[in-house]
Amino acid sequence: MTQDEMIELAKKAGWQYAHGESGFEPLWDFAKLIVAKEQDRCCSIVFAQCESDNVAQRTVDAIRGKA
């Protein structure tokens, strides 16, 4: 997830934000932790469901934005 996407979601959640404004670093750190946790959960499902580790790894790389 990009920072712009996080800003959009923060706005939808009621956060007020202006580019360059300080004090939002903890919000971005929190959002990145949530994204990583969800990616890990999705990746574990992929590995559990795929018969081929090669297919699973390619799918996991795509989920994590490495493909």
pLDDT band at 17 (very low <50, low <70, confident <90, very high): low
Residue 15 domain-assigned (yes or no):
no
What pLDDT score does 20 carry? 61
Residue 59 domain-assigned (yes or no):
yes
Residue 20 domain-assigned (yes or no):
no
Given a cut of 70, whether residue 34 has pLDDT beyond it is: yes
Mean pLDDT of 19-30: 71
Angle at which helices 25-49 and 53-63 cross, to 10°: 160
Mean pLDDT of 31-48: 87
Residue 41 domain-assigned (yes or no):
yes
Residue 8 domain-assigned (yes or no):
no
Residue ranges making up the domain that contains 64: 27-67
Round to whole Å and give the CA distance between 19 and 7: 9
What pTM was estimated for this model as a whole?
0.61
Given a cut of 80, whether residue 29 has pLDDT beyond it is: yes
Counting the structural domains of the chain, the total is 1
